[in-house]
Structure 1
Amino acid sequence: MAHTKSGGSTKLGRDSAAQRLGVKLQDGQSVNPGQIIIRQRGSKYLAGANIKIAGDDTLYAGKSGVVKFYSKKKVRFDGHTRYVTVVSVV
């Protein structure tokens, strides 16, 4: 006979796996074609020269070279300007 009443079970004790998003290669690192530079959701970083965008917004290299990050001013649809970070391969 049990000395302690059973605690029962829960329907909520689960968690999803992390998505492993973020910057994978830094400014100045060399890159080969197809190599992932940034995994992201949405357009936090914009694609510059020699960068391609995957279906899940991942940025990857279009050709061999060196990764370059830079900031530039962009006009939004409502006329406001904002600074965006652009990634390119030079």
Structure 2
Amino acid sequence: MSLTLSNTNLIQVRHATKKSGGSTSNTRTSNPKYLGFKRFHGSKVIPGNIILRQRGTRWHPCNGVGIGRDHTIFALVEGRVVVHYDLATQRRYISVNDGTLETFPSKVEMKRRLTDTIDISHYMTLTNKERYDYVMQMIQTLTETDQIKRKAETDQRLTETGRRKFILHDLTLI
């Protein structure tokens, strides 16, 4: 049987089609989260002011600040914002100085102090592991001397005249 012209009308032919426009799949966006510092180093804050919004604890709370469940750091006391770095824990901290805090060194200042304490000729003779141990030992001694100095300053400040009566006691159990 041969195909004739009259039989070809019964064969279905499909052609490529294009959906008519009007919809795209990449138009959905989320609202911005406005993360980052809201009050910078040296800014005046009152209790409740948000200092920093962050995801996770890239910055850690210290004196005079609190941390929310979404890791927001906020002021607990009135004062000025202080940003500092602890070389021993290698963490960045945020505090609020209400006039009673001692000065905290910056990251650059702490690293400068560390390089000043390292004996370069001794350092160059060490292996990599020994160098690491040597630097960590220097960091530990710097931290200990800073803690002793801070404790002495705090004791001095607490026993100043003009404050309410305060006597330091040894609170060890007998």
Q: TM-score normalized by structure 2?
A: 0.43
Which residue of the partner structure matches residue 94 of structure 2? Answer: 87
How many aligned residue pairs are there?
A: 79
Q: Deviations over 1:10-31 (max 9, x none)?
A: 2332111110000111111110
- Spell out the pairing of 1:42-81 with structure 2 (5 A cutoff): 42-75=56-89
CA–CA distance in structure 1, aligned partners of residues 69 and 22 of structure 2: 43
Q: Which structure 1 residue ranges, 4+ long, deviate > 4 Å from structure 2? A: none
C-alpha RMSD of the superposition = 1.5
Matched, 1:37 2:51: yes
Unaligned runs of 5+ in 1: 76-82
Aligned mates of 2:88, 2:33 — CA distance in 1:
29
User: Within 1, Cα distance between the matches of 2:48 and 2:62?
Assistant: 15
Which digits, 9 at most, give the CA deviation of each residue in 1:15-55, with x for residues without a partner? 11110000111111110000000000100100010110111
Q: Counterpart amino acid of 1:54?
A: G
Gaps of 5+ in 2: 1-18, 98-174
Shift of 1:9: 1.5
1:73 positional shift: 2.3
CA distance in 2: counterparts of 1:8 and 1:89, whole angstroms? 54
By percentage of residues, which structure has more strand?
1
Quick one: distance in 1 between partners of 2:83 and 2:22? 53
d(CA) in 2 for partners of 1:26, 1:15: 30
Equivalent residue letter for 1:84: R
Percent identity between matched residues is 37
Aligned to 2:20: 6
Q: Specify which structure has the higher proportion of helix.
A: 2
SS in 2 for 1:71: strand
> Which of structures 1 and 2 has the larger relative contact order (alpha carbons within 8 angstroms, sep 6+)?
1
